[in-house]
A and B are shown apart, each in its own frame.
Chain A
């Protein structure tokens, strides 16, 4: 049984106090991923960071503690300068990149017992965070065994309570917005809390991509139920190419009310499209013949030119808002067919308007 994060954090502060009280010499590298800007906090960052500190974790008496908010602490004894150097170099590569302003390094080194007070001041969270199980973060990543278990569990669970909808709006000429379609998706956060509370299902991006195939089938089954789409308006769903070619999609297609045909958008992702390009082209042509429109999502702004919509035979492309988009002046010829997600601030909305972005989604337009 894996220990939860709150328990590990408590154990860690206990160890720090013990070192201080007994005068035991230890080094601590505190890695505060939670202090990084949101744009840098990619889903796999925690895993990459764990890999980066691996040399330290092999030092004498070394132990890694997980702390709330994806923070980590490594404790070891004695001099491990070589390993520390390798870990810091790897961490530096993780957070630096050519296209974003430098961020302060989110790590700090402490020597116990001398630095114990400073360290304790940093890691002592509000009382509720360590005691309430509701705020405990997942303690482990999704591994292949957990993935297999989750796939089995998903086959029988009623996922309807995890379905969420978000409005996608089109900008009118007079600063107004009209709802154009709704994005329907399963809340991965809530679903994993319910089914796999001790695993970060997005921790390994490739195992998560694999999991989405099972999620696709559950979503398609849900939407194929006779009552589900009776009064539905235009909507979009994310699917894998293999899912579009599956019996589940064919059943969904057969059950789709006539009024909705031509008003459903399927969202695809680049690695999936390229993973089996022949199947993608077949699925694309089939879906378009059946009246679906296709949207490419999950790509960074720097890849817009790598996946031109017309060349791909797709209709729309989606980007996520992040601060670094501020540096992008022109998003190219596909701007009018671009959807900007996470438009939660006026800044994002202003950016979208100035670049001629066709569709927006986020709390700045739709507080619900």
Chain B
């Protein structure tokens, strides 16, 4: 629709000697210019609805002042067709320098500058997303573009808004974790330390497990809540996390197999601040001590940033429990915008993003400085799903990794060492290695090896999920002081 109108408007302008857009009152003189913003070329998750919405407003603003028109195409691109003269004025009383010599129509330098500045967060080459085609000169590329849009058959236009997660999903998940076998909703993943050959003696292992993270599987929760993505609303998800982690703490602390974790790499649990400050955490810490198992705690940066006092108290509680604290979910943008290393956690889990491979130079320098400020030895590069992630990390001195690429490396080493491996594909071994419940591990003939790199909890003994933990605790030493305080209060 918009594409047909655009093609027609371009043709009409060309018929009129490229001096009229064809809509509204036309000032005499000056050429017509087309500006196309190729939002469809952005790498997912962009372009998001807000990219289109905001870009459209900016272009419409210009169109209103320059007798122009804006066209939003079904592929997500947006075009502006308007009078070229005077476009170097911003319309807000500001003017910018005249267009450069390479900008033949005296073009919209401020407009292009504004758009490139806005889009630099989403692409390394924002200028490459913008085509400026003055109609008076070579109009073949413009006509080709307009024709391509008009001939394009797009099944569904891009959504105007990201689907909002309904609060009811939180209730559904709450009900779900009360009912389901909790181990079917959880997964585990091993983080490792890698030693490149130059760092190690011949007898050292190149890959060494450092901890095993146990977490609720967003995919499993999403699959059971009618497809509403359980992690799509960060606020609602934090609320859900608070429900999940109490259950997880009770579940893990109650596993008889915790004793078997002695000497294995620590278990890492992702917890909310409220859970760390709750009796469930104290019970979990006591169970670990009793079993001689080591454990660590992960707190997300979002969670930490919401309440500095609770974070400080939780950090103290984790430290007193003799556990390591990891700051989880630190995006590379968080490293560039804030100083998360000042939260002084033992580890900082940096999310790998393909964007890290092609950061602008200034961001690349800032990122290196942030890693140095953190200490590369404290960083775990997580979501490392490719060789590129590992290479990027190693080049910056990072030695700790977690993610699907590591899962594959561990899976491959199991396959090599397993007498029964002819029955399994590598992908199956990887998936079973990440499963906690018996359903996800079914088919493996060598479960001991499946658990060899990770603490082997006796998951298969997990009973009904609704049982609260009941273990003997020492008699209350607080009773006497309490009586005194009661007297003081009254």
Q: Which residues of A contact B (CB under 8 A)?
A: 30, 32, 42, 44, 47-48, 51-52, 54-55, 58, 81-90, 93-94, 96-99, 104-105, 107-110, 115, 118-119, 121-122, 143-145, 147-148, 151, 204-207, 209-210, 242, 245-247, 250, 253-254, 261, 269-271, 273-283, 285-286, 289, 298-303, 305-308, 311-313
Contact = CB atoms under 8 A, between A and B. Distances in A.
Interface in B271-325: 274, 277-279, 282-283, 301-303, 305-310, 312-313, 316-317
B489 interface: yes
A312 B338 contact: yes
B50 to A, nearest CB: 4
A42 B309 contact: yes
B235 A206 contact: yes
Given A84-B476, A289-B118, A308 B333 contact: no
B242 interface: yes
A108 B489 contact: yes
Contact of B313 (A55, A97, A209): A97
24 contacts: A30-B486, A48-B278, A55-B279, A81-B475, A85-B473, A85-B475, A90-B282, A97-B312, A104-B485, A144-B167, A144-B170, A151-B167, A270-B338, A274-B305, A276-B234, A280-B337, A282-B122, A285-B121, A298-B306, A302-B312, A303-B308, A306-B305, A307-B339, A308-B339
Contacts, number: 232
B118 A206 contact: no
B476 to A, nearest CB: 4
B233 to A, nearest CB: 7
B40 interface: no
A225 B293 CA distance: 62
Contact of A306 (B278, B339, B475, B488): B339
Contacts of A313: 337
User: Is chain B's interface secondary structure helix, strand, loop, or mixed overall?
Assistant: helix
B327 to A, nearest CB: 11
Interface size class of B (residues with CB under 8 A): 35 or more
Interface of B: 46, 48, 50-51, 53-54, 57, 92, 114, 117-118, 121-122, 166-171, 174, 233-236, 238-239, 242, 246, 274, 277-279, 282-283, 301-303, 305-310, 312-313, 316-317, 331, 333-334, 336-340, 342-343, 468, 472-479, 481-483, 485-490
Nearest to B342: A306
A299 B167 contact: no
A357 to B, nearest CB: 18
Contacts of B57: 250, 253-254
A306 B374 CA distance: 12
A29 to B, nearest CB: 8
Contacts of A55: 279
Contacts of A119: 490
Given A144-B236, A205-B306, A308-B338, 14 more contacts: A42-B307, A44-B274, A82-B475, A84-B476, A97-B316, A105-B481, A107-B485, A144-B170, A210-B167, A271-B306, A276-B234, A281-B333, A282-B122, A308-B339
Contacts of A85: 473-478
Contacts of B54: 245, 250, 282, 286
B406 to A, nearest CB: 25
A121 B473 CA distance: 33
B279 A87 contact: yes
A303 B305 contact: yes
A90 B278 contact: yes
Given A82-B475, A109-B483, A285-B117, A205 B307 contact: yes
Contacts of B474: 82, 85
Contacts of A98: 312-313, 316
Contact of B333 (A42, A253, A278): A278
B117 A279 contact: no
A210 B475 contact: no
Given A118-B486, A281-B333, A289-B118, A94 B277 contact: yes
User: Is chain A's interface secondary structure helix, strand, loop, or mixed overall?
Assistant: helix
Contacts of B235: 206-207, 209-210, 271, 275
A278 B279 contact: no
Nearest to A108: B486
A55 B54 CA distance: 51
B490 A118 contact: yes
Contacts of A147: 167
Nearest to B164: A213
A30 B486 CA distance: 9
B84 to A, nearest CB: 22
Nearest to A118: B490
Contacts of B312: 97-99, 302
B482 A281 contact: no
Contacts of A96: 313
Contact of B338 (A99, A109, A210, A306): A306
B168 A144 contact: yes
Nearest to A324: B309
A193 to B, nearest CB: 21
Nearest to A85: B476
Given A86-B283, A118-B490, A207 B239 contact: yes
A207 to B, nearest CB: 5
Contacts of A121: 490
B338 A54 contact: no
Contacts of B51: 282
B308 A274 contact: no
B473 A86 contact: yes
B411 to A, nearest CB: 32
B273 to A, nearest CB: 9
Given A82-B473, A148-B168, A88 B478 contact: yes
B171 A270 contact: no
Contact of A145 (B168, B334, B343): B168
Contacts of B308: 299-303
Nearest to A277: B333
B58 to A, nearest CB: 8
A290 to B, nearest CB: 9
A286 B309 contact: no
A286 B118 CA distance: 6
Contact of B167 (A86, A115, A207, A289): A207
Nearest to A289: B114
A277 B334 contact: yes
Nearest to B490: A118
Nearest to B475: A81
Given A144-B171, A306-B339, A279 B239 contact: no
A256 B303 CA distance: 35
B362 to A, nearest CB: 12
Contacts of B279: 51-52, 54-55, 86-87, 89-90
Q: Determine which residue in B283, B308, B310 has the highest number of CB atoms from chain A within 10 A of its CB, and name it.
A: B308
Contacts of B168: 144-145, 148
Contacts of A247: 53
A48 to B, nearest CB: 6
